[in-house]
Chains A and B, each alone.
Chain A
């Protein structure tokens, strides 16, 4: 029964992906995994919507950063475009908490009662922040908690989203943009660039006149607005009827089957149930060790620079300034599981982790300037940070490929030693061995 449902849900989602790819978001495939070629922006948008993740979509103006997120969310969550547009928050310096989170019900306030009217952004499961880097640094903290936990607070009242996904778009630096603060950046699971599709595909985009009409259904939108108004702080569950209405429209007009709330939950359970195989686990440990280890200072710290000529110069710990956050493995597991589910794999394998890593690393890692200078001059098809992250991933993977057996044996031996058995203590040159020895109390 589960297998059947998985197949049905996956089939549905893949049809939605194909529909968007063929009709709404024209792009080049740029992610190749297990014999499949997909567009990374579109695929990661789908995985974000399905897992309830957080994606930062970067790119030049007009290259479909917001559009991709809107189409994906409209179909995965069964929301007409008009509703998604109404709930989106645009990043600008004058943005306020009242516009983002909620405002007082003035009528009730006149009667001495404090009641919050939550914004559509806070209430709906789809959250899109357009041009997030136009929000000043001080106002970025307004959405920190909400972005992290789906928990919104205003006037001592709270709203918790039990299902949500977040898309934020950001242009490259110009006069009107601000720096995204590291705590906010770290809360995004992945970063992906919405790329130019190339001259030939771009020429097709101009010819398509009905792109916004497809998912823009006035009657359905009225039904949603009515439901949202009627139940002042209604939860998504109370919108079920409106969802069903829009789903029917999509089915009748385009033959598309959207996912119900229950189906989305089931998909998440299926993804979470996918086992991560030992090799993928070991590969992730190797990566985390390289991104957090420092033989001199105990761990990486962004305010401490490691010395020239360190024994571990050849590893990533020498090329990064900051320490990998604890959100990083969570993001990688979540998206690697989602990718494995998407591909119909029975478990999460090294290839899934390896494919996701660059997107999870790029925005979180502060690279050494010398490393970036080297990467900057290389031929590439991605923005520098993503290219650097991909290069770093390839380096770690090469080391993993060479030492896979020894690393896994060392981890196995460590498990036995910690259980009180007599085993040779793991020895090796990689930072992971040093981390293992630390955990065993040998250093």
Chain B
């Protein structure tokens, strides 16, 4: 009997490896490393059990997050994946508000790319502290609404929120630019020492601003264009 497949007798190949397989495998590896780092960070910080209230707690937690990220090479896509992972209710890692936000902020400040875009629209959680200490030369674009403390202690970087921002936007920022597409919450620019905040919509309430410039729409509200003119609610 004729073997109709004879021509293919010698056809042997090793298992096909698609470039996509490599990409996915690498991303899985990186995500695992990041999750391990996050777990280490949360375990370290959980012993403190005090957040924000304690003087210096934030700086210490941030330093721990940065330490945890040492030796991990990751990209903007990995930051996005990490956001999705932390956002998932059944994620491997325990999602905690402030630590998660700080950890993401640390990632944004240390990722190789200098332009970072995070799509927050598909995320359920509103992480606080996104853009925390973003250094000069980096641009973080947050698509959608951001949580509280966005752009906190900004260090020369540029943070753009396409939607609304929560309370304490730009708290303690030293330099840089914080743009908010719609409105910001209460205590906006609290303790601000420099830089610019531009809110396209309404500012629900201004914080105690020390230095810097704050705009609401096209109007400069700090320092006020004319003394006593600004009448925004506090």
- Chain A residues near B (Cβ < 8 Å): 278, 281-282, 405, 408-409, 411-412, 414-416, 418-419, 436, 439
Contact = CB atoms under 8 A, between A and B. Distances in A.
Given A405-B13, A405-B16, A412 B3 contact: no
Contacts of A418: 3, 5
Interface residues of B, number: 12
B9 A278 contact: no
B13 A416 contact: no
Contacts of B12: 412
Contacts of B4: 439
A405 B18 CA distance: 11
Contact of B8 (A405, A412, A439): A412
Interface of B: 3-13, 16
A278 B16 contact: no
Nearest to A439: B4
B5 A411 contact: yes
Contacts of A278: 7-8, 11
Which residue, A409, A415, A416, A439, has most C-beta atoms of chain B within 10 A?
A: A415
B13 A415 contact: no
Given A408-B13, A414-B5, 15 more contacts: A282-B8, A408-B11, A409-B11, A409-B13, A411-B8, A411-B11, A412-B8, A412-B10, A414-B8, A416-B9, A418-B3, A418-B5, A419-B3, A419-B9, A439-B4
Contacts of A416: 9
B16 A415 contact: no
A357 to B, nearest CB: 19
A281 B5 CA distance: 10
A387 B137 CA distance: 55
Contacts of A409: 11, 13
Contacts of A436: 5
B9 A281 contact: no
A412 B16 contact: no
The 8 closest A-B pairs by CB, nearest first: A415-B5, A412-B11, A411-B8, A415-B9, A414-B5, A412-B8, A418-B3, A405-B16
Nearest to A417: B5
A439 B6 CA distance: 13
A45 to B, nearest CB: 31
Contacts of A405: 13, 16
A281 B7 contact: yes
Contacts of B6: 415
Contacts of B7: 278, 281, 415
15 contacts: A278-B7, A278-B8, A278-B11, A281-B7, A281-B8, A282-B8, A405-B16, A409-B13, A412-B10, A415-B8, A415-B11, A418-B5, A419-B3, A419-B9, A439-B4
